[in-house]
Chain A
């Protein structure tokens, strides 16, 4: 009996260890590789044999990686601000006011977020060329709205719907207009939800690839994801793995840190739309 319990417990912890190892190992390996020096790169190493900043210096000084990093920050931050501005008021209308066609509108918004991005690529390209913003960061800020906005509206709507009716009633009795109710009553309560959705929208924009690949065409306007995908060496067969891993670590560390700090909020944000519905 106790032997059986012991076996069960060890199997359980073995599974736990495997889960952690498999989850973390590729990132660990990328970090080791990024610090490897010259020939160490081409010897498989399970722990760091040498530590050198060479790959980082190389990535940050040659090419346009710093510019790409800056582009990604600008695009992702603007997209978050834009999506939140548009979504807060829309979420209020969708969650607190009864009107005909509300659930149809919500369903439409949700279906936009499930769109295959390729399906709008040709039309978006035309619109972007028409506005004259092809190969500028504006094209990305504009096009990223297609996936950040529906998602933000959806999550904020679920959040607002769960706020008690009493606080709003009190404000209505005091004669507050809907705008005042949003800015003075709801907004202060919504900071946690805004942080969560903002963060998730930021990550989505930071990771985006298809639009960034299609709507920018020069090194100076590319975002980091495209820059990493296109990072190449002197010849076609000489792939600069060290630099690629250094760039990858630079791009990923801030995200991993943010995600670990805001763990709980992110998990609740991710599951908000799905499970409660």
Chain B
């Protein structure tokens, strides 16, 4: 009797288990089918093109011979040298191309300055928006406006405002006696980078603000209540409590912005075209690919940009211990 019951129970467990694993298998099969279209789409639109771009970087391709066959030239786009019979050696390739290094420094300088400013300003605006006051909704709506405006449109708007002759910025600065003469913001080599940074900070600080604000709002309110009762100085509260607690959100926001800044294209292309002082890696690579017909050389440059961004991402995740794999928790 007791033996039978035990067998029954065992059989029952077995049935349930079998049923469960069947179910699991069905779900796994379905998951596979569901994932295939997306994975195929990403492979065709991202994986394969990336592979081909890297490949083109090792060829002497031009726009006319990508299909008729470009020749494999190894690392010559990156670095090569010729030694003449006289003993003189000439180096060529991206790694000794002053235009490339100029673009690298421009991009890095732009990235560091603009992201630093956006972080500081974004934090300030987020702290203000985190306070409770009348009209908070209006302010939050207002800061969404720069975010909603297409980059091209903001570049054009600011190009007009920064116009040397008829621009309102020069007019304001003259009226306030901050400058004596009108400044050609988008043409003068000394001010072009400043112009780019101003427009980028204006356009993307809202994004930073919203991400930081979301982080701030996850901090429990009673912590602040406790510090107020204990009479802790507000600055100390910020450094000791707010900043450490908002750090994860801040890190994610900064990494998004840094990676975005490294690939900047539209703003530079429209606001300060053909200025060597603002030419970035993306702009230089795009021009070599499609304007100067150096398809292979441009591909090699875009590959280097990809490598730089990949290395930065890995370093950042590693150093900052940012948990980007949100799905893995």
Specify whether A and B are partners. Answer: yes
Residues in A lying within 8 Å of B, measured CB to CB: 12-13, 15-16, 19-20, 22-24, 26-27, 29-30, 33, 41-44, 46, 86-87, 89-90, 92-95, 97, 99, 102-103, 105-107, 109-112, 114-127, 129, 142-143, 145-146, 149-150, 153, 157-158, 161, 172, 177-179, 182, 203, 206-207, 209-210, 213-214, 225-226, 228-229, 241, 244-245, 248, 251-252, 255-256, 258-260, 263, 266-267, 270-271, 273-277
Residues in B lying within 8 Å of A, measured CB to CB: 23, 26-28, 30-32, 34-35, 37-39, 41-42, 44-46, 48-53, 55-56, 66-67, 124-125, 128, 131, 133, 135, 138-158, 160-161, 163, 165-168, 171, 202, 206-207, 210-211, 214-215, 218, 248-249, 252-253, 256, 259, 262-263, 265-266, 269-270, 281-282, 285-286, 289-290, 295, 298-299, 302-303, 305-306, 309, 313, 323-329
B153 touches A116 (CB 8 A): no
Pick from A43, A105, A225, A275: contact of B152, CB under 8 Å: A225
Residues of A within 8 A of B163 (CB): 241
CB distance from B117 to the nearest CB of A (A): 13
A209 touches B265 (CB 8 A): yes
Instruction: Give the docked Cα–Cα distance between A105 and B34 (Å).
Output: 14
Residues of A within 8 A of B50 (CB): 115, 119-120, 123
Residues of B within 8 A of A256 (CB): 145, 148-149
Given A29-B157, A255-B149: A277 and B325 within 8 A (CB)?
Answer: yes
Residue of A nearest to B306 (CB): A119
Residues of A within 8 A of B160 (CB): 29-30, 33, 241, 244-245
A30 touches B157 (CB 8 A): yes
CB distance from A199 to the nearest CB of B (A): 11
Pick from B28, B35, B206, B327: contact of A103, CB under 8 Å: B327
Residues of B within 8 A of A210 (CB): 265-266, 282, 286
A12 touches B133 (CB 8 A): yes
Instruction: Give the docked Cα–Cα distance between A157 and B34 (Å).
Output: 13
Residues of A within 8 A of B51 (CB): 123
Residues of A within 8 A of B144 (CB): 259-260, 263, 266-267
A145 touches B45 (CB 8 A): yes
Instruction: Give the docked Cα–Cα distance between A111 and B87 (Å).
Output: 47
A114 touches B259 (CB 8 A): yes
Residues of B within 8 A of A258 (CB): 148
A86 touches B326 (CB 8 A): no
Residue of B nearest to A161 (CB): B327
Can you list 21 residue pairs at the A/B interface with Cβ under 8 Å?
Answer: A22-B202, A29-B168, A93-B31, A97-B31, A99-B28, A107-B325, A116-B309, A119-B50, A120-B50, A126-B49, A145-B42, A178-B30, A207-B151, A260-B141, A263-B140, A270-B207, A270-B210, A270-B211, A274-B256, A275-B211, A277-B323
A124 touches B49 (CB 8 A): yes
A206 touches B313 (CB 8 A): no
Residues of A within 8 A of B41 (CB): 86, 145, 149
Interface of B is mostly: helix
Residues of B within 8 A of A146 (CB): 42, 45-46
Of B23, B259, B270, B324, the most chain A CB neighbours within 10 A belong to B324
CB distance from B55 to the nearest CB of A (A): 8
A106 touches B152 (CB 8 A): no
Residue of A nearest to B125 (CB): A19
Residues of A within 8 A of B323 (CB): 277
CB distance from B287 to the nearest CB of A (A): 11
A90 touches B34 (CB 8 A): yes
Residues of A within 8 A of B302 (CB): 116, 118-119, 121-122
Given A109-B42, A150-B42, A256-B149: A93 and B157 within 8 A (CB)?
Answer: no
Residue of A nearest to B140 (CB): A263
Residues of B within 8 A of A251 (CB): 150, 153
Residues of A within 8 A of B53 (CB): 119-123
Given A16-B128, A122-B295: A142 and B45 within 8 A (CB)?
Answer: yes
CB distance from B69 to the nearest CB of A (A): 13
Of B49, B66, B153, B298, the most chain A CB neighbours within 10 A belong to B153
B327 touches A124 (CB 8 A): no
CB distance from A148 to the nearest CB of B (A): 10
Instruction: Give the docked Cα–Cα distance between A32 and B77 (Å).
Output: 50
Residue of B nearest to A102 (CB): B327
Instruction: Give the docked Cα–Cα distance between A33 and B156 (Å).
Output: 12
Residues of B within 8 A of A275 (CB): 211, 214-215, 218, 248-249, 252
Residues of A within 8 A of B206 (CB): 23
Pick from A29, A172, A271: contact of B161, CB under 8 Å: A29
Instruction: Give the docked Cα–Cα distance between A213 and B273 (Å).
Output: 14
Residue of B nearest to A128 (CB): B49
Residues of B within 8 A of A145 (CB): 41-42, 45
Residues of B within 8 A of A207 (CB): 150-152
Given A86-B41, A90-B38, A120-B53: A277 and B210 within 8 A (CB)?
Answer: no
Pick from B38, B171, B327: contact of A149, CB under 8 Å: B38
Instruction: Give the docked Cα–Cα distance between A97 and B195 (Å).
Output: 49
Residues of B within 8 A of A229 (CB): 152, 155-156, 269-270
